[in-house]
A and B are shown apart, each in its own frame.
Chain A
Amino acid sequence: MKRQTVRVAAAALLASGVTAATAVHAQWFGSKESKGIPLQQVADMLHAVMESDRTVYTQRVVNRLQNEEKVIQADEHFMDKKALPLPAQMFRFGAEKVAEKTKSFSYSLLSLWPVNKQNAPRTAVEKDGLKFVADNKGKNYYGEETLGGKKYYTAVYADVAVSPACVSCHNAHAETPRTDFKLDDVMGGVVIRLPMN
């Protein structure tokens, strides 16, 4: 009888231990949640900030000063030309600063029609995601991928021509593979990655 109790207690203890460990593991490692907030929501929140900053810079700085007031150009070689950094460069500089600070997420601006060939999709999720957001306006793409032995939750959001500056600059750029962008077109996508383990 006594032995039986010990066995049951041990089994119960083991079971609850396993359950707790699984829960903790699911919570902290490999789950679709990041310390309580679902990964999708985390990505959506990050994207909201990125997209807003990007839109504000393009509309209030680049489009106003370059396209409307015509007082200063935005140029890839902004140092040499004493010009404004491109919206895509502002975005990348931010991403680079983040990469210096944390490994908890990373992001980039890509396109199926890239001016800079390094901004073409490379992974399968990037390719599918960019195609999906271009074909399904207003929808985001969420996927998982393993890169360099690590698992990532990857979200792709449409990058839309929110201002005439986007369209005029890309269509006229010497290296663009596409010259028929219009206002409100999907021009590419923002890819956000959250490590899952």
Chain B
Amino acid sequence: MSRTVMLWLVWISLTVPAALFVLAAIVYGGNRSFLLIGKTSNGHHQIELACDACHISVFGGPEVLQDACVRCHGAELKAANDSHPLSKFTDPRNADRTAILDARHCVTCHQEHRPAITRAMGVTLPDDYCFHCHADIGEDRPSHEGLKFTTCASAGCHNFHDNRALYGDFLLKHADEPDQRETPRVVLVEFLKSRKDTIKVPRTLVATDADAPAVHRGDIDVVTAWAGDAHARTGINCSGCHTAKAEPARWIAAPGLETCKTCHADEARTFVEGKHGMRLRDGLMASHDGPLGLFRAAKLAPMTPGEARLPMKMDQTRTSLGCNTCHSAHHYDLATAKVERCAGCHDDTHTKAYFASPHYELFKKEVAGLAPKGSGVSCATCHMPPSETRRPDGSKSVFATHNQNDNLRPNEKMVRSVCGNCHGLQFTLDALADRALIASNFTGLSGVHIESIDWAQRRARERGEHRQ
């Protein structure tokens, strides 16, 4: 054999398996982190190994990615009354604008795997993006003349997508509110009160009613805990959660999300939309069935604090996040789930400062029975607030969203769902714009004044005069 032929053989026998290995990693999965072409953004890092969550097809450009973006984020953008929907940019009359900034595709502004240029909100575009279309804003709004293009999206002014708490009429409507409402609006409590008569509560169960087969009944503490808890109070027996609806009935030792969601559908749906449960969202696969049984289809493993990018407590690094992580089995104490459980893992400044904040004082009062239900402010009050949903029959329902990310980033999303329940708009916008105040968990007053309400009022006055 000549030297050349031998070298060729060596080259082929090294290259072909390597190529197959890479190809298999792309298509089927396995240990594929070497494929990541750059650090994934904070928004997506948890699901970065489910490549086909975003790269739906191996072929295709921005359109394919766009489908993936819309699949996960489309509904929330619709709900947010997106100020810059796709239809604005597909209209030919805006073709010259799209040529400068192709806002028809999410990835124009939000590129993934580009850590060097990724900034807040996953934006990878330079800060002057508003300017491309709104350079002449000063002509129509003298107040905006000479403003720096970096200030458009300052807290309390404008967002690209969600302006539900920032539009002119909203600012005017809430202009003269006091810093503190006299009585807080407790949306969930009020909703439940309004439905009290229509909810049929089955007979409360007691310890002797427990219907688990003797082999599964476990120790007496479990039964006692269950009997003293919400599920027994509302007539849910052991078998309610521990048996699968299969023939013959199968005992489930540790029911999880799949079981909980049969009753708590809204909570489960939103849980997998947020940072705690996003890995468990349907269709996110770490690997797919492959040839010769070399690959098996597998979902992503649940998130653990150890993999988080926020500071977490060291002793919790391996805890898997599911329903029972915060709601301990058989003892679904909401007060615990609303504060203690969060602080059990989260170890950042904002969390630590909470325990010295006025919000925590209110929460302690509520738990002690010294203040009305819902008047306390827990972690969950702000990060898993009551959310409205419509039943298929059109009726309104309220539930605690379990997507803790729903009203974060930009944080003005909190104005409507949270802060406005207790505080005036000016007070709220100022507070949300003060990074130091957020770090201290709102202990003290804001050092920032947001002028958007002043401007809206001035404009309304001027316009009123103009019409006369």
Contacts and interface: CB of A to CB of B under 8 A. Distances in A.
Interface string A86-130: 000000000110011001001010000000010000110010000
A148 B87 contact: no
Given A76-B169, A77-B170, A99-B87, A106 B92 contact: yes
A191 B463 CA distance: 29
Nearest to B459: A174
A106 B467 contact: no
Contacts, number: 54
Given A106-B91, A147-B96, A174-B464, 19 more contacts: A76-B169, A77-B170, A79-B81, A80-B164, A80-B170, A96-B85, A99-B90, A99-B91, A122-B94, A122-B96, A123-B93, A147-B93, A149-B95, A150-B95, A174-B460, A174-B467, A176-B467, A179-B467, A193-B93
Contact of A148 (B96, B140, B463): B96
Interface in A126-180: 126, 147-150, 152, 172, 174-176, 179
A174 B98 CA distance: 30
B67 to A, nearest CB: 13
B170 A174 contact: no
Interface string B56-94: 000000000000000000000000010001110011111
Given A77-B169, A96-B85, A108 B93 contact: yes
Interface of A: 76-77, 79-80, 95-96, 99-100, 103, 106, 108, 117, 122-123, 126, 147-150, 152, 172, 174-176, 179, 191, 193, 195
A172 B467 contact: yes
A174 B87 contact: no
Interface of B: 81, 85-87, 90-96, 98-99, 140, 164, 167, 169-170, 459-460, 463-464, 467
Contacts of A108: 91, 93
Contact of B167 (A77, A96, A117, A122): A77
Given A76-B169, A80-B170, A96-B85, A148 B98 contact: yes
Which of A103, A126, A147, A149 counts the most B-chain CB atoms under 10 A from its CB? A147
A76 B85 CA distance: 17
Contacts of A147: 92-93, 95-96
Contacts of A96: 85, 87
Nearest to A145: B92
Contacts of B170: 77, 80
A124 to B, nearest CB: 11
A179 B467 CA distance: 7
Contacts of B167: 77
Contacts of B81: 79
A148 B99 contact: yes
12 contacts: A77-B170, A99-B87, A99-B91, A106-B92, A108-B93, A126-B93, A147-B92, A147-B96, A148-B99, A149-B95, A174-B464, A193-B93
Nearest to B416: A80
Contacts of A193: 92-93
The 5 closest A-B pairs by CB, nearest first: A148-B95, A96-B87, A147-B95, A174-B463, A147-B92
Contacts of A150: 92, 95
A165 B90 CA distance: 31
Contacts of A117: 140
B87 A100 contact: yes
Contacts of B96: 122, 147-148
Interface-central residue, A76, A148, A150, by most chain B CB under 10 Å: A148
Nearest to A79: B81
B126 to A, nearest CB: 23
A186 B196 CA distance: 55
A106 B164 CA distance: 27
B376 to A, nearest CB: 28
Contacts of A100: 87
Contacts of A174: 459-460, 463-464, 467
Nearest to B140: A117
Contacts of B467: 172, 174, 176, 179
Q: Which of A108, A150, A174, A176 has the most CB of B within 10 A?
A: A174
Contacts of B99: 148
B464 A148 contact: no
Nearest to B167: A77
A122 B98 CA distance: 14
A195 B95 CA distance: 13
A175 B85 contact: no
Contacts of B95: 147-150
A152 B87 contact: no
Contacts of B94: 122
A53 B98 CA distance: 30
Nearest to A120: B140
Contacts of A80: 164, 169-170
Nearest to A117: B140
Contacts of A106: 90-92
A117 B134 CA distance: 11
A95 B93 contact: no
A123 B164 CA distance: 30
Contacts of B85: 96
The winner among B85, B93, B96, B460 for most chain A CB atoms within 10 A is B93
Contacts of B87: 95-96, 99-100
A147 B85 CA distance: 20
A64 to B, nearest CB: 24
A79 B85 CA distance: 17
Given A76-B169, A117-B140, A148 B92 contact: yes
Nearest to B137: A117
A180 to B, nearest CB: 11
Nearest to B133: A118
Contacts of B169: 76-77, 80
A79 B90 CA distance: 25
